[in-house]
Amino acid sequence: MYLFGTRQTFEGGLYLPDHKTRTAKRPIETLAPTGPLMVPLSALGELPTTPVVAPGDRVIEGQPLAMPAAPESLCVSAPTSGRIVRFDHVWTALDGLVPCAVLEPDGLGESAAVRRQWESDLFLTELVEKGVVCPNPRKAAHVLIAEAVAAGVTELIVNALETEPYLTADLRTMVEMPARLIEATCEIADAIGALRVRFAMPDRHRRLVRRMVSEAAGRLVEIVPLAEKYPQCHPTVLIKTLLEVEVPIGRSMLDVGVLVVPLAMIRAAAEALLDGRAVTHAVLTVSGDCLERPGTYRVPVGTPIQRLLDHVGPTAPIAQIVSGGPLTGVGVQRPDAVVTIDASALLCFSRPPEPQPIECIHCGWCVEDCPVGLEPVSLLQLEAMERISVEDRERLLACIDCGLCSYVCPSELPLAAAIRRTRRRAAGGPTKATGPNP
Ligand code: SF4
Ligand code: SF4
């Protein structure tokens, strides 16, 4: 086993300022529902569901509100007990306006009986009924696992690296439930028939690494501490670092026999499979430069972002809210948007980004730091071109959207956003930017 030896890493990338000190040591706090919850009726985007409750119904925590209406869909359950007031629509950071059930909590916290026993042939059914999602790639966990089985995947990698600044939800989850994470990892490894399982985590937290190693002793899981170089957390880069295997351009990790799952999916699987509970809360880092109580919060799905921010206590007017990491997240345009099950972070900044781009000074930093060896500045020029060659399209597809080129550019050129727009145009999709660095 590799443990604190030579640091495994990759060409390019950067060690970013981490901004994690204030949230890393603070225990996960559960936010009590203090007002109506606008619970999206689909766990992810447009996965179809059929409501099984009606206005006026009383529900308890964990009771299904909507059942899957397609094989790739999931159950949606009530995050707390209360009464269904009406059906409506609500804004979300990633999916825009979506249908929701408005649930007025009654404060009793009554929950559905947990089911701790399940048969192994009901494994995928259990994930569907409990609403387990994978935030990256963004799909239902049972679909991802079925795809991995069909592709003959033999390697499972759990990604607990969080190499973007501010993010500490994975770290807190490992500190607070290490044994259950290993247990859930073994269940998923068993379901896909993995021959080898690696659990990648930051090497800086040595005591935690030792704890995880001790929890994994005698199991199939190998704890692999890695440097927190960004974007080590990206599946393509992680596979390259750990297995020295390149994922071919335009192909998926499953095509090289590997499944990388984020720690958030393992946590949700632990709640579903080991605790027998429906997954109804998101665990997310709430941080930034203007909050009184930044930390990791366990938040009922459907909680308005504004209510969460009121609880955390802004210390200055918030100029920008980002859902996700500062380099890869999505700008939240509306504070009445709600927390969704796949939310990993909510970052608030008091200073709006005001880049003042000037001409490229040919410093070469973007080329030096690009983790997949591209020349971002030459890809920037494609935006003004009417036609994109096959070779250039390949280069656009090779970009993993890590945002590092924009971050390092001293000329403040919006490289990553321009590449993202051009890639969408080349693929025939919309060109509207959604990231924090448009
Ligand atoms: S966003 Fe794309 S081009 Fe820019 S550094 Fe990352 S991988 Fe390279
Ligand atoms: S980092 Fe910016 S200024 Fe430097 S070469 Fe790249 S685009 Fe030009």
83 and 47 in contact (C-beta within 8 Å)? no
SS (H, E, C) 82-146: EEEEEEEEEEECCCEEEEEEEEEECCCCCECCCCCCCCHHHHHHHHHHHCCEEECCEEEHHHHHH
Share the mean pLDDT of the chain: 92
Query: What percent of the chain has pLDDT above 70?
Result: 94
Would you say residue 431 has pLDDT above 50? Answer: no
Measured in whole angstroms, the distance separating CA 216 from the mean position of its chain's CA atoms is: 24
The rounded distance, in Å, linking the Cα atoms of 155 and 33 is 40
The rounded distance, in Å, linking the Cα atoms of 324 and 268 is 18
195 and 221 in contact (C-beta within 8 Å)? no
User: Which pLDDT value is given to residue 118?
Assistant: 62
Identify the weakest region by mean pLDDT among 5-19, 148-162, 343-357, 370-384.
Answer: 5-19
Would you say residue 433 has pLDDT above 70? Answer: no
Supply 125's token pair: 């059914």
Report the 10 Å Cβ neighbour count for 78.
29
pTM: 0.93
Residue 399 Cα to ligand 2 middle (Å): 16
- Secondary structure of residue 346 in the 3-state scheme: strand
What is the rounded average pLDDT of the residues 253-264? 98
User: Which pLDDT value is given to residue 428?
Assistant: 72
Amino acid at 260: V
| Protein residues with CB under 6 Å of any ligand 1 atom | 370-372, 374, 376, 399-405, 415-416, 419
Would you say residue 258 has pLDDT above 60? Answer: yes
- Which residue is closest in CA terms to ligand 2's atom 4? 363
User: Which pLDDT value is given to residue 187?
Assistant: 95
The rounded distance, in Å, linking the Cα atoms of 368 and 370 is 6
- Which residue is closest in CA terms to ligand 1's atom 2? 399
Per-residue CA distances from 430 to 50, 399, 421, 422 (Å): 29, 18, 8, 10
DSSP 246-297: PPPTT--GGGGTEEEEEHHHHHHHIIIIIS-----EEEEEEEESSBSS-EEE
What is the rounded average pLDDT of the residues 99-104? 98
User: Which pLDDT value is given to residue 438?
Assistant: 35
Would you say residue 115 has pLDDT above 70? Answer: no
Residue 375 Cα to ligand 1 middle (Å): 8
User: Which pLDDT value is given to residue 122?
Assistant: 83
The rounded distance, in Å, linking the Cα atoms of 376 and 367 is 6
Would you say residue 394 has pLDDT above 90? Answer: yes
Measured in whole angstroms, the distance separating CA 402 from the mean position of its chain's CA atoms is: 14
Complete edge-to-edge strand list for the sheet that includes strand 258-262 = 221-226, 196-202, 155-159, 258-262
Amino acid at 121: D
What is the rounded average pLDDT of the residues 337-356? 91
| Protein residues with CB under 6 Å of any ligand 2 atom | 360-366, 377, 408-411, 413, 415
Q: What's the CA angle centered on 265, arms 259 and 267, to 5 degrees?
A: 130
- Which residue is closest in CA terms to ligand 2's atom 2? 409
What's the pLDDT tens digit per position in 400-409?
Answer: 999 999 999 9
Would you say residue 429 has pLDDT above 60? Answer: no
Q: Estimate the crossing angle of helix 206-216 against helix 169-176, to 10 degrees.
A: 50
- Which residue is closest in CA terms to ligand 2's atom 1? 409
User: Which pLDDT value is given to residue 107?
Assistant: 93
